[in-house]
Structure 1
Amino acid sequence: MEFSWTAGQQARYEDVLAATRDAFPRPDGAGAAEPGFFRREDWLKLGEIGMLGASLPTAYGGQGLGALDTARVVEAVGRGCTDTGLVFGAAAHTFACAMPLLGFGSEPVKKRLLPELAAGTLIAANAMTEPDAGSDSSRLSVVARPVDGGFVLDGTKSFVTNGPMADVYVAYATVNPKMGFLGVTGVVVERGTPGLLVGEPFEKMGMASAPAGRITFQDCFVPQENVLGGAGQGAAIFQYSMGWERACLFALYVGLLDRLVEQCVAHARERRQFGRRIAEFQAVSHRIVDMKLRLESARLLLYRACWEMDRGGPATLSIALSKLAVSEAALAGAMDAVRVFGGRGYLRDDGIEAALRDAVPSTIFSGTSDIQRQLIAKEIGL
């Protein structure tokens, strides 16, 4: 059993972290990102850093990294960039859109889209969730009607991350609602396609810079070339993308937690109350220790899940354990950070309250914490 990184792996992490900090400097050394949605130029920076194409083959403009090395890239960006919404949107773009396109798209579509997705000249969005179909993705109401040369889509998707700004959508629809998972089909829909209507962005609690909203299909024709896999394979394709998302995307929260622990340690050393540094108060030091414990436990579970993915074996249990541990650690750690900073943690200056708001949805998207517990229970034979 080996826990060390090779010189090349460690150098890549340090290079990405340094490049991220240079590209996205923290206001006043620590503060939160500016309000508003991310800018195209920021997206292109992530392409230059290598995050958007980390897991894509070099033939399509990527780095050809496996899951574990990809996760380390995402972790470094999540640590170095305080704009978690931007990093989240980029990770969703890569793992929920580019990866299923790589694995199941037609060669002409892959050649046309993947290099631009890796570079950041195109933005992708995943469209699975519906107003009445969140965790239960077997009951989609968006219908894909077979016609000559492809499918016609009708219906509405909700909570589409990057949706209001996206150039490309990876969407899932049902060819037969009675067939449940077996009736789901995945397709690629490009912005500007007749019948594709993009809604206004939602106002959200956190991830403020990552726009999310509804998209609606009205007699929207999708050519056969843009179908992922074949009709009825959409559920399997979606689960494939969720494996990448639940493992590699959540590495950004490992990076965020690293940053929070660093900030809390520095604050506890400097802040004085009752004539003493607050680090000397056991209530404070033990709270930070608990943050570190949850962080390192979650980090190891995430690395193991990615390692199993790279080996090509079953990784469902490890991925669910990882997703659950990282998301719950992020939420608890961010809440602890607010308490360590006290009243200052409630202000925007240090970015602590933003980290808490950004951590809350981690227990909801990509399968809620309760869904992960159900998966784990099933995997261990309950």
Structure 2
Amino acid sequence: MNFDFDTDTEEMRAAISAFARDKLPCPDAFDPVAFRERWLLAGEQGVVGTAVPEAYGGLGLGAVTAAALMEALGHGSEDTGFAFSVAAHLFACLRPVVEFGTEEQKRHWLPRLSSGEWIAAHGITEPEAGSDALALRTSAKLRGDHYVLNGGKAFTTNAPVADLFVVQAVTDPSAGFFGLTSFLVEAGTPGLRVGRPYDKVGLHGSPTADVYLEDCAVPADHVLGTEGGGAAVFSASMAWERTCLFAAYLGAMRRVLDSTVEFAGLREQFGMPIGGFQAVSHRIVDMTLRLESARLLLYRAAWGLDRGERDEVAPGLAKLAVSEAAVQLGLDAMQIRGALGVLSGEAETLLRDALPARIFSGTNDIQKNNIARALGLGPKRRVRRR
């Protein structure tokens, strides 16, 4: 096993980390104009299209390298929300187009999405279909040469600024797993409306909102994949998201851990640095253990993606490990800082940004169900065969 990145990857990581530190500071408040300006800068660096083939404007990188660059982005910038938006755009939207799109779709949309000119959003979650992701109510009915979509999506990352939406809808309510279809819907399409941005506990740099579809006519050639293939599109995107997206948290954790070690070496109480007290030093050791363990699981999952593995275990374990480690590391970093930890700063910011990680991309409780099922435990998912 070789745990080292090659020279090119290390150079890209250093460049992305420096770029994020210099050009992507954490803003005091979200500004859609400033967000798009920063997005274009990230596009110029290749950040928003790392896992897209070069033929369509991306860098053509595999999952391991894409995760490594996402880790660098999370390390360089304290705006984890921005990194989260980039990852959602890339892994939940662009990767499905790469894997399931027609040649015409790829050439039409991917160059603009990879350059940073356009931003994408993935509409899957609904008010009544969160953990039960296949219980969607948004419908799509074929009418001649187009589909008519009706319904609504909730918690849609990037929705307030998106130029393209990947929307999951039900085309055959009786077909179960094979009743979902994915659609590519451009912003401005009549019948598509975006609600007000959410006010969230964390990830303030990532705009999120509801999406409403009211008799929204989408051309038939905007179907991503095949009719009835939406669940397969969703599953493939989640494998990338649950692995590579969470690499941004690895970078954020490393940044906060390093600053915590420095703080423990400088802060003195009772005539000595607090890092000399076992209660503090052991807590930092535990922080390091969680980070390094989670990192190994994530890169194991990324390695599997590059090899074409399609199991639910590795991405699920990576998602569980990273999200839980991030929350606990945030708590520990605040505890070591004492009263300073509850003031505005990177420790409390990491904790707020980490809390949603246990919910999105499938709650951690659902991840455990999925992993258990993949291990042969519990009831099997019933799939209606066509």
TM range (shorter): over 0.9
SS at match of 2:73: helix
Q: Distance in 1 between matches of 2:335 and 2:266?
A: 16
* 1:250-269 residue CA offsets vs partner (Å, 9 max, x unmatched): 00011111011011011111
The answer for the alignment partner of 1:28 in structure 2 is none
The answer for the alignment partner of 1:236 in structure 2 is 232
Q: CA deviation at 1:340?
A: 1.1
Name the amino acid aligned to 1:161: T
Task: Work out whether residues 165 and 211 of structure 1, in 8 Å CA contact, stay in contact via their aligned partners in 2.
Answer: yes
The answer for the alignment partner of 2:249 in structure 1 is 253
Q: CA deviation at 1:286?
A: 0.9
SS at match of 1:215: strand
Name the amino acid aligned to 2:30: G
The answer for the alignment partner of 2:113 in structure 1 is 117
Q: Distance in 2 between matches of 1:5 and 1:104?
A: 29
SS at match of 2:117: coil
Could you tell me which of 361, 364, 378 is aligned with 2:359?
364
Name the amino acid aligned to 1:122: W
Q: Distance in 2 between matches of 1:64 and 1:284?
A: 44
The answer for the alignment partner of 1:12 in structure 2 is 12
The answer for the alignment partner of 1:285 in structure 2 is 281
Task: Work out whether 1:318 is the aligned partner of 2:314.
Answer: yes
Task: Work out whether 1:60 is the aligned partner of 2:56.
Answer: yes
The answer for the alignment partner of 2:76 in structure 1 is 80
Task: Work out whether residues 181 and 229 of structure 2, in 8 Å CA contact, stay in contact via their aligned partners in 1.
Answer: yes
The answer for the alignment partner of 2:193 in structure 1 is 197
Could you tell me which of 165, 173, 179 is aligned with 1:177?
173
Task: Work out whether 1:374 is the aligned partner of 2:369.
Answer: yes
**TM-score (structure 2 length as normaliser):** 0.95
Name the amino acid aligned to 1:79: H
Task: Work out whether residues 151 and 213 of structure 2, in 8 Å CA contact, stay in contact via their aligned partners in 1.
Answer: yes
Q: Distance in 1 between matches of 2:56 and 2:268?
A: 54
Q: Distance in 2 between matches of 1:341 and 1:49?
A: 35
Q: CA deviation at 1:53?
A: 0.7
* 1:170-219 residue CA offsets vs partner (Å, 9 max, x unmatched): 00000122322211000011011011111111111111121111111111
* 1:338-358 residue CA offsets vs partner (Å, 9 max, x unmatched): 11111111111x322111110
The answer for the alignment partner of 2:384 in structure 1 is none
* 1:38-84 residue CA offsets vs partner (Å, 9 max, x unmatched): 61111112112221110001111111000000000000001101001
The answer for the alignment partner of 2:380 in structure 1 is none
SS at match of 1:172: strand
Most deviating of 36-45 and 292-301: 36-45
Q: How many residues align?
A: 375
The answer for the alignment partner of 1:24 in structure 2 is 24
Q: Distance in 2 between matches of 1:67 and 1:202?
A: 30
Q: Distance in 2 between matches of 1:22 and 1:158?
A: 33
The answer for the alignment partner of 1:29 in structure 2 is none
Q: Quick one: percent identity of the two aligned structures?
A: 48
Most deviating of 324-333 and 175-184: 175-184
Q: Distance in 2 between matches of 1:131 and 1:62?
A: 34
Task: Work out whether residues 194 and 220 of structure 1, in 8 Å CA contact, stay in contact via their aligned partners in 2.
Answer: yes
The answer for the alignment partner of 2:28 in structure 1 is 34
Name the amino acid aligned to 2:157: T
Name the amino acid aligned to 1:307: W
Name the amino acid aligned to 1:351: E
* 1:197-253 residue CA offsets vs partner (Å, 9 max, x unmatched): 111111111111211111111110110121011111000100000011000000001
Task: Work out whether 1:305 is the aligned partner of 2:270.
Answer: no
List runs of 5+ in structure 2 lacking aligned partners: 378-386
**TM-score (structure 1 length as normaliser):** 0.96
Q: Distance in 1 between matches of 2:299 and 2:287?
A: 18
Q: Distance in 1 between matches of 2:310 and 2:215?
A: 39
Q: Distance in 1 between matches of 2:149 and 2:295?
A: 40
SS at match of 2:196: strand
Name the amino acid aligned to 2:55: A
Name the amino acid aligned to 1:136: D
CA RMSD of aligned residues (A): 1.2
Name the amino acid aligned to 2:355: V
Q: Distance in 2 between matches of 1:270 and 1:219?
A: 62
Name the amino acid aligned to 1:16: I
Name the amino acid aligned to 2:22: D
Task: Work out whether residues 256 and 346 of structure 2, in 8 Å CA contact, stay in contact via their aligned partners in 1.
Answer: no
